[in-house]
Chain A
């Protein structure tokens, strides 16, 4: 439906700043943390077993790639063999964009920029260049540490051009601001606000388009205009991108084309963007905001007289969250045959497949499938892929399942999967549709090289037929009513390199491909009817539904009176290499000119809807012919129903508007009857002489982080140290090292070093690492008192992710330990070998203060042998099971069951008590080897947002949550003391996903009496 415009409720593309969703650590970051935590565990440094990062989901390397590196004048392009053509395209786009941006920024980037390309978003989601998870809405990103641009190819040349240019704007901006600040030798100024960073990237990478217009129109017409000062409300979302783009465009238009560049040049002169804006433009940022808002009103208010909003002319069938891709069917669920609508939704954070009455959710909603909680349904591609259903109650949809997409046939009644389709060579599957007889399915698929084509499969058969095979993006396939042709949208037309899409018909009888529309606009989502076909087009500025009344959808010979079938046109131009034209290097025909041949007299185009915002995925109701569609309004997508009249004479649109292209291909070859060979434009690739080298990838390391700290403890004295992380360009290999010293006197310096070096390999599915360490420090606990401990040894780790949601990990430590309890005169030297195995499962969904849905499980067993003594030193077993039962949007009932036991000569004790575990009791009240603990908590929202207007400025508090809890458990050394408990209430407040404050008020009891005085706890940390 909308390539970049998806998941508006979630974090969208975050190319510049690196932000992780709380709790969802993965790959390198979690490995490092686990390494550090495990080392501490092994070394008996007292750890709370209720550590905050014990769980986490997995970024699974399902695919292995044979990477190569192509070097051009300004870039190093990393690609794998299957996508070599994409790499050449990307190189060309990158160099062209570089030349353009050099002039925009008045700046040269003085380093070679790494550009890493993936041929599909599913491969892109596996990248280790960032430790965070990449949402489906992320179109690419640029990261700070190594200045890498990482982009996926999503099937469209125009989108590929856009995303590379967008990310390159970030590279230029970072380089420019760094240069400007370095020149002034100032470090006080940070980056501009995110809306400006992303807005400028959009503004200088693409022109204002229908997507952006839709968002802004809706914002203005719905009366919820956000000024620049309110952009924080849409921070990180696609709205922010487009609003930012609109502001940047306005600044250039209103104040001068030079002003954005001048703002960057003047960046060092002010502490904040508003200071620099004032110096550069001579007006305040607030004034700019007012003028911008006013200009939007002037532009969009008059449109209300010409068009409508969806809820004014249609009936909104769904509410809350997002609901899209409605499919109406006539289905008998046992209560008689009536109309139902199957659709996709995301109301509470997880995507689901649902079913509602044809009159809307108010009559009842049934959830057919919950996605994003298990490996088979890891992502339902909410916005990107349509669904289909038969009147028999069979639903077809696609979902990410491990490495690639699978297509499922699901019984609506039993909610069971009848069949799963996986195709070895097809990575992504989108928008499957049944044939009229229900025996075949057609879908849009992407292969490993990135080609997006149309595929057909018989129901019950796992072999497929490939209908198209080229670098054009083919989408939204659907069978004609007769079943003898497939209609789909494609960018193979004359303006396809600029993102335009037309409707095509592919005859299954003679393999002929016919263009039904040919123009500069985006025509998509064809929907056949008995007398023609519906489709969506943005030719009037918004996506609206049109109807083509024709009897020629299946009869290709009658569609055109002239020579307009693609296989019949004559060639009048030859292929040109290195086209220097402004259209980004695509080789193309000359534009304009009338279509040759006469129009079919039976053809007529009618505009069916005239909405201000947008209409998508139209379907026709089988019960009364209403239009069922996804409409955009009030910052969201919902399913609508609208009566239509496609006989309305006044809405007739000239046929020539839909056939304005010259159907003459670029290729210099004579076309044969195989229409697939015909090209109208070809993506430009980098000239061979511009490539300075093209070799296999050799691991290329550079420093990511180096940081040092110095600390002073009144008991343990001063400590200081350095840690550093070095990874390769692809993020698959990492070296982590630390060194510190804990000496009290200079005589101790040499013997008091703590150092460690470890290596992690994330290249394949099994992640592994090893390392060595030497540590020496003084410790203290209530059991051992004060003691020195020196450890020298090494470790190895293996982690096998079963899926995104679960994994098995194991680690082995071997060390020589010298533990000196000097005050007691006890000293023990031993060679210890430890082995731990854990099973971790985590499909939790987080909100501002902690998990709110799903579950988290960690089961760990371990044994440590004192090899030189020939005996076990300790054994341990731990189970931490947490479940979150969703009650509402921001409410849940959370349960935690925790058990820990350790035995042996020197059992491993853990701390227990405090805000993170047993509330009402002191933090670390117990230090014992046996703990049983159960916690129950009802979490609910209190206040979403408070803004205090103070004289010095506004102070805002977000996401204030409440909780009622009941904790109970026992902790003991040798003698089981019986259960005690606490109950109470709490407040939580999240801070932008970084951390949460917590306040608990509780009463303790021993099941006999309740203490009279309450306990108060104020601390930080996520909910369990």
Chain B
């Protein structure tokens, strides 16, 4: 109610969707519409003119999110902010008992977020009046939340994957996988049922039935995985390894591999609880120059990886044999890149934001911001939103059309 009143007092319409409406298919925290890290809309022309710039009340904690006409920012201390992407003004904010470290997930009029230890809450709150709809306690959720339909997928710090009914808070299923799951899961929409792809710090990449949690596939990599998988249109799964590897899992059709560059295959001796998916996977890997704490982004045939040294790699095939291009930027890099139209957008710890051309790697534009960029930018296809460690929020785009 308060929000409704507040919104009515402003000029213009309330951009927050109040009713059920069209749910923002929120499968990925970067970009908008799919598990790719790429915005489908592409009005962005590569220019980094400042549309607006705002100060945040808290340092950002975790990547930005964009849905239902609101920019969701989790503060490092306690609050989750909902911000008007057009103007940067704050719609509203919600205070938690401790840091909302998994970021905020806004679906229709419900806001989901977790809080850090010692409270370890998973809260569902009504945006209209801040009412707490339901709450669960799960240890140290750091990975961003994911939803599809009425299901909310949560990766617990206790090594368990949870699936909740996001309206009632009832637990639909849970699955213990072990290890810390730091990065967000990715949801692959498949005709035979959605599949949840998850990487964990023990080095496992796993696929789980989104409806039941049953394990469909698991593979051990060399070193920890802190990356969110990116799923290409052809079903190739891209992810990076913390110790500096770019991986892809390509589907083998029938008995013939579509792409095999390494000898490692799924070990038949490894127990799987369920018959594996009818497709099996071939693993390809490419060694990056440095460790990578970031998640790749993929669009069509292009897969973008980055590493800590500031190198940006573009692969144009799931073979990952040789990058199409590689650019060395001037600084360390932990934020994940995003693809917006024909451009790659990536921010560095030095505070520099770069826009590269997707097909060639040419630096189209760059801008030095006031402080390190630790988390991925986000885009609605026309504009780029990025937050810095000095509590600044920027909106970039083109002032001239």
Contact = CB atoms under 8 A, between A and B. Distances in A.
Q: A and B: partners?
A: yes
Interface of A: 99, 102-103, 106-108, 110, 179, 182-185, 256-259, 262, 268-270, 279-280, 282
Given A258-B291, A258-B293, 15 more contacts: A102-B331, A102-B349, A103-B308, A106-B332, A106-B334, A106-B374, A108-B349, A182-B59, A183-B58, A183-B389, A184-B76, A184-B77, A185-B77, A269-B117, A269-B140
Given A184-B99, A269-B116, A282-B179, A258 B309 contact: no
A347 B291 CA distance: 49
Contacts of B374: 106
A270 B117 contact: yes
Given A103-B309, A108-B372, A257 B61 contact: no
Nearest to A256: B224
Contacts of A282: 159, 179-180
Nearest to A276: B117
A106 B293 contact: yes
Contacts of B90: none
B231 interface: no
A185 B61 CA distance: 12
A918 to B, nearest CB: 54
A182 B390 CA distance: 11
A258 B243 CA distance: 8
Interface string B71-91: 000001100000000000000
A103 B242 contact: no
Given A103-B308, A108-B372, A183 B242 contact: no
B64 interface: no
Nearest to B334: A106
Give the 3 A-B CB pairs with smallest separation, nearest first: A183-B76, A103-B308, A256-B224
B223 interface: yes
A239 B301 CA distance: 54
A106, A110, A185 pick with most chain B CB within 10 angstroms: A106
Contact of B61 (A99, A182, A183, A280): A183
A183 B99 CA distance: 10
A103 B159 CA distance: 27
B224 A258 contact: yes
Interface in B28-74: 58-59, 61
Interface in B329-352: 331-332, 334, 349-350
A258 B371 CA distance: 24
Contacts of B96: none
Interface of B: 58-59, 61, 76-77, 99, 116-117, 139-140, 157, 159, 179-180, 182, 201-203, 223-224, 226, 242-243, 290-291, 293, 308-309, 331-332, 334, 349-350, 371-372, 374, 389
A262 B200 CA distance: 13
Nearest to A280: B180
B287 to A, nearest CB: 14
Nearest to B371: A110
A824 B389 CA distance: 66
Q: Is the interface of B mostly helix, strand, loop or mixed?
A: loop
Contact of A258 (B140, B242, B332): B242
Given A183-B61, A184-B77, A258-B242, A102 B332 contact: yes
B349 A257 contact: no
Contacts, number: 74
B201 to A, nearest CB: 6
Contacts of A102: 308, 331-332, 349
Nearest to B159: A282
Contacts of B159: 282
B169 to A, nearest CB: 24
Given A183-B61, A183-B77, A184-B76, A257 B223 contact: yes
Contacts of A185: 58, 76-77
A106 B349 contact: yes
Nearest to B293: A106
A953 to B, nearest CB: 20
22 contacts: A102-B308, A102-B331, A102-B332, A102-B349, A103-B290, A103-B291, A106-B308, A106-B332, A106-B334, A107-B349, A107-B372, A108-B332, A108-B349, A183-B61, A256-B202, A256-B224, A258-B291, A258-B293, A262-B180, A269-B140, A282-B179, A282-B180
Contacts of B332: 99, 102-103, 106, 108
B227 to A, nearest CB: 11
Contact of B203 (A256, A270, A280): A256
A270 B120 CA distance: 13
A270 B202 CA distance: 22
B157 A279 contact: yes
Contacts of B61: 183
B201, B203, B374 pick with most chain A CB within 10 angstroms: B201
Nearest to B224: A256
Contacts of A259: 201, 224
B391 to A, nearest CB: 9
Contacts of A184: 76-77, 99
Nearest to A180: B76
Contacts of B371: 110
Contacts of B58: 183, 185
B243 A257 contact: yes
A383 to B, nearest CB: 38
A644 B141 CA distance: 63
B335 to A, nearest CB: 10
A103, A179, A257, A269 pick with most chain B CB within 10 angstroms: A103
A104 to B, nearest CB: 8
B66 to A, nearest CB: 22
Nearest to A101: B332
Contacts of A258: 201, 224, 226, 242, 291, 293
Given A257-B224, A258-B242, A183 B140 contact: no
Contact of A179 (B77, B180, B334, B389): B389
Contacts of A108: 331-332, 349-350, 372
B69 to A, nearest CB: 28
Contact of B242 (A182, A257, A279): A257
Contacts of A270: 117
Contacts of A99: 332
A511 B203 CA distance: 59
Nearest to B117: A269
A106 B226 CA distance: 13
A268 B243 CA distance: 25
Given A108-B350, A282-B159, A256 B77 contact: no
B242 A256 contact: yes
A280 B180 CA distance: 7
A182 B140 CA distance: 20
A722 B165 CA distance: 58
Nearest to A179: B389
A279 B182 CA distance: 12
Contact of A256 (B116, B201, B309, B389): B201
A257 B223 CA distance: 7
Nearest to A105: B332
B305 to A, nearest CB: 15
Nearest to B391: A183
Contacts of B372: 107-108, 110
Contacts of A107: 349, 372
A361 B180 CA distance: 58
Contacts of B226: 258
Contacts of A110: 371-372
A36 B332 CA distance: 49
A53 to B, nearest CB: 43
A844 B206 CA distance: 66
Nearest to A270: B117
B143 to A, nearest CB: 13
B178 to A, nearest CB: 8
A185 B98 CA distance: 11
A258 B294 CA distance: 12
B137 to A, nearest CB: 15
A176 to B, nearest CB: 11
A259 B293 CA distance: 12
A257 B140 contact: no
